[in-house]
Structure 1
Amino acid sequence: MSSILTNNSSMVALETLRNINRNLETVQSEISTGKKVSNAKDNAAVWAVSTVMSSDVASFKAISDSLNLGSSTVGVARSASEKVVTTLEEIKTLIVQAQGENVDRAKYQTDIEEKIGLIEGYVSAAQFNGLNLLDGSSTDAVNVLASLDRASNGTVSASYISVDRQDLSVSGGGSNAVFGATADTSTTIIDNGGTNAGTAETVANGATQTIAIASVGDGYSYRVTLDDSAGANSLGTRSFEFVADSATSSEDVAEALSTQISNFLSATGDDNYTVSFSGSDISITNLSGDDLDITGAAAADGTAGVNAGGLGALASIDVTTNAGATSALTAIEGLMNKAIDAAAAFGSSQNRIAGQSEFVQTLVDSLTTGIGGLTDTDMEAASAKLQALQVQQQLGVQALSIANQAPQALLSLFR
C-alpha cells in the first residue's frame, strides 16, 4: 500500500543515515583525539580503570624523582667516605713511617693533623640539599620513597628504602657532651663503686668495676674517666661525658656513657677492657690489661661541648713518642675499617636505589602501554572504518533521496 501521508521507506532510510552519521562522528572523534575512550561516556568501566592507572603513572614519575634525589644524596656520602678512606690510608703510611727511631716524628705529626683536617672538611661538605649522612648529627636512618603498593581492595601504601647514616666525623655533631666541668662531690648522684664521686678506683687484671648512676639532675653532666697511662697499653687517659635534661633517666645516662666507651674501644681495637650496662649501672671489666684507674664524676656547671664522632679517636693520635706511634698503628686500623664499612654500606644502598629506579621506569612504561591498550585508537582500523562509513553515508543520502521521491510516483495515477 502506498500513502502520501506516511513514507515508510523514507523513515527507514533516514534512521539508517542517522546511525551512519553517529558512527562516523564517533570514528572522527577517535581519529582526532587518538583515544577510543576519552571520557566516562565512551566506556565507563574502561575509563575508570585507565584513570586509576594514569594516576599511578603520575605517582611513579614523582617516585622516580625521589629516587634520583636519594641516589644523589647517598652518592655524595659514598664519594666523601671513599675520600676519607684514601686519606686514612695516607695517615696510616705516615704512622708507619713514624715507627722508626731516627725520624722527625714532629713533622709526621704535623702532616697527620693536616690530613685529619682534610677528613673533617670532607665530612662537613658531604651534604646534598642540606642532608648530611656522615656528620653524626643524627642516628636516624633516612627513608627514600621507593614505590606505591596498591592492594586488590584499592588501598595504597608507600614503601621505602632505608639508608643508615654513618658517623665519620672527628669531633661529632651532637651536643650532649660537657667539657671543663668541675666534679660535684657534695651531691651523691654518681656512685663510683662505693667511693666518693670524683675518686679514682683501681681495677686490677680480671676485676670489674661498677659505676652506679644514683639519680639524675637536669643540666648535670656525667663523666667517666679511664686511665691506664701507667702501663704499656694503648688506652692512655680517656674521658667520656654526657649531659642530662629533664627527660633523661639514670638508665639513659648509663646507656649513653657505656655506648661511648664501647665505641671508642672498638674503634681503637683495644680488647683489654670491656664495658656493659644494666639498668643504671655501668660495668667495666679489665680482661688482660694493666691496672686501670676508673673515675666517675658529676658536674652541675659544665659548658656544653661536642661529642666525639665516629672517627673521634683520630684526635688522640700522637706519633711523637714511641708509645704513641705504637698506639696509633693499632688505632688507625680500626678507623680505616669503620670508614671502609661506611663507604661499602653507601655503595650497597646506592646500588639498591639505582635498581629500584630502573624498575620504576620499567613499571611506568608497562603501565603506560597497558593504558594505551585500553584507551588508544587503532588508527589503521579507524581509517578503514572511516572510509567505509563515508561510503555508507553517501549511499544513505542517495537511498533517502530515492525514498523521498516515492510519493511523486503516485501523481502518475491521477493523470
Structure 2
Amino acid sequence: MPVNSVNTNVGAMIALQNLNKTNTDLQTTQNRINTGLKVGSAKDDGAAFAIAQSQRSTVSSLDAVKDSLSRATSVVDVASSAGESVSDMLTQLKEKALAASDTSLDSTSRSALKADFESIRDQITKTLTNASFNGINLVDGSQGSVTALANADGSSVLTVAAQNLSLGGSIVTLASNASFSTASSAGALLSTLDSSINSVSAALAKLGTSSKAVDNHLEFVGKLQDSITAGIGNLVDADLAKESAKLQALQTKQQLGIQALSIANQSTSTVLSLFR
C-alpha cells in the first residue's frame, strides 16, 4: 500500500516528469514546424547534419561552376557571331572579286568594286578585334583557348579551342592587304576566297560543337544541383503534415498532463481528513 506523505508526493513527481517530457516533445515539434527542418543542427542528428552540410557546400560550389560555364557560353557565342559575320563578308568579297574579273567591265566600275572590296576586307579585322566577352577573344588570334569549371572541386574543366580567323592566317588565307586592279588579279583571288570560306565554315562548326558541349554540361550541372538539393531535403526536411498531426496530439497530451499534475498535487489534501 502506498504511503501518504506531505513531504514526498510520488504521484506529482511522476506527473511532472511526464509533463516535462511532453513539453520537450512539443517544443521540438514546434521548432520543426517553424523551421521546416527535422534536422536543424548537429544536436538533432549529428550524422545527417554533417552529410547535409557537406552537400550544401557542393550545391554552393556548383553555383560557381554554372557561372563559369555561362561565361564560357557567352565567349563562344560572341566568337560564333563574329565568325558568321566574317563568313558573310568573305562571301561578299568573292562577289566583288568575281564581278571585277569580268574583262568586259570598264575601269571606273572596277575601281568602285575595288573600293568596296577593300572596305569589306578591313571590316573583317574590325569585327574580329571587337569580338570579345569578358576580355576573351577566340577569333582574333590573341587567345589559344578558354576553359570553364566542370565540377564542384575544380579538378575538371571544359576547354574550348580558339579559332583564329584573322586575315592571312591558316583559316582565312586572304591577305590583310589583298586587293585587285585588273580583271586577272581579281580572278586570282577567287580560289583563295573559296578556300577561306570553306575553312571558316569548318571553324564555325567546331565552335558550334564546343558551344553545344558547354550548354549540355551546364544543363547537367543544373540537374545535378537539383538532385543534390532534393537529397538534402530528404535528410533534413520535416514532414509538416506529420508534424502538424503530432502537434495537436502533444497539445492535448500537455493539457491532460497539467490536469494530472493538478490532481496529484491535490491528493495530499486528503491527509487532512484524517485529523478532523
Q: In structure 2, what is the equivalent of residue 326 of structure 1?
A: 187
Q: In structure 2, what is the equivalent of residue 16 of structure 1?
A: 18
Offset, 1:328: 0.8
Q: Contact 1:108/1:319 (CA < 8 Å) preserved in 2?
A: no
Cα-to-partner distance string for 1:96-129 (whole Å, 9 max, x where unaligned): 2222211243332222111101111110110112
Secondary structure, counterpart of 2:147 in structure 1: strand
Q: In structure 1, what is the equivalent of residue 121 of structure 2?
A: 116
The code of the aligned residue for 1:375 comes to V
Q: In structure 1, what is the equivalent of residue 235 of structure 2?
A: 374
Q: Contact 1:317/1:324 (CA < 8 Å) preserved in 2?
A: no
Secondary structure, counterpart of 2:175 in structure 1: helix
Residues in 2 aligned to 1:402 and 1:20: alpha-carbon distance in whole angstroms? 17
**Is 2:265 the partner of 1:398?**
no
Residues in 2 aligned to 1:163 and 1:388: alpha-carbon distance in whole angstroms? 61
The code of the aligned residue for 1:160 comes to V
| The one of 107, 126, 134 aligned to 1:129 | 134
Offset, 1:73: 1.0
Q: In structure 2, what is the equivalent of residue 170 of structure 1?
A: 167
Offset, 1:157: 4.5
Residues in 2 aligned to 1:78 and 1:129: alpha-carbon distance in whole angstroms? 15
**Is 2:149 the partner of 1:145?**
yes
Q: In structure 1, what is the equivalent of residue 4 of structure 2?
A: 3
Q: Which has the higher strand share?
A: 1
Q: In structure 1, what is the equivalent of residue 199 of structure 2?
A: 338
**Is 2:61 the partner of 1:59?**
yes
The code of the aligned residue for 2:236 comes to T
The code of the aligned residue for 1:333 comes to D
The code of the aligned residue for 2:74 comes to S
Cα-to-partner distance string for 1:384-404 (whole Å, 9 max, x where unaligned): 111100100010011111111
The code of the aligned residue for 1:143 comes to T
Q: Where in structure 2 are the equivalents of 1:192-211 lying within 5 Å? A: none
Offset, 1:316: 5.3
Q: Where in structure 2 are the equivalents of 1:287-366 lying within 5 Å? A: 310-311=171-172, 313-315=174-176, 317-366=178-227
Cα-to-partner distance string for 1:308-335 (whole Å, 9 max, x where unaligned): xx53533353432354233211111111
TM-score, normalising length from structure 1?
A: 0.62
Q: Which has the higher contact order (CA 8 A, sep 6+)?
A: 2
Residues in 2 aligned to 1:387 and 1:112: alpha-carbon distance in whole angstroms? 84
Gaps of 5+ in 1: 149-155, 173-262, 264-309
Residues in 1 aligned to 2:266 and 2:112: alpha-carbon distance in whole angstroms? 117
Q: In structure 2, what is the equivalent of residue 385 of structure 1?
A: 246
Residues in 2 aligned to 1:2 and 1:407: alpha-carbon distance in whole angstroms? 11
Q: Which has the higher helix share?
A: 2
Q: Contact 2:101/2:184 (CA < 8 Å) preserved in 1?
A: no
**Is 2:270 the partner of 1:409?**
yes
The code of the aligned residue for 1:28 comes to Q
Greater CA drift, 23-32 or 58-67: 58-67
The code of the aligned residue for 2:156 comes to S
The code of the aligned residue for 2:43 comes to K
Q: Contact 1:116/1:314 (CA < 8 Å) preserved in 2?
A: no
Secondary structure, counterpart of 1:354 in structure 2: helix
Gaps of 5+ in 2: none
Please tell me the root mean square deviation across aligned C-alpha atoms, in Å. 1.8
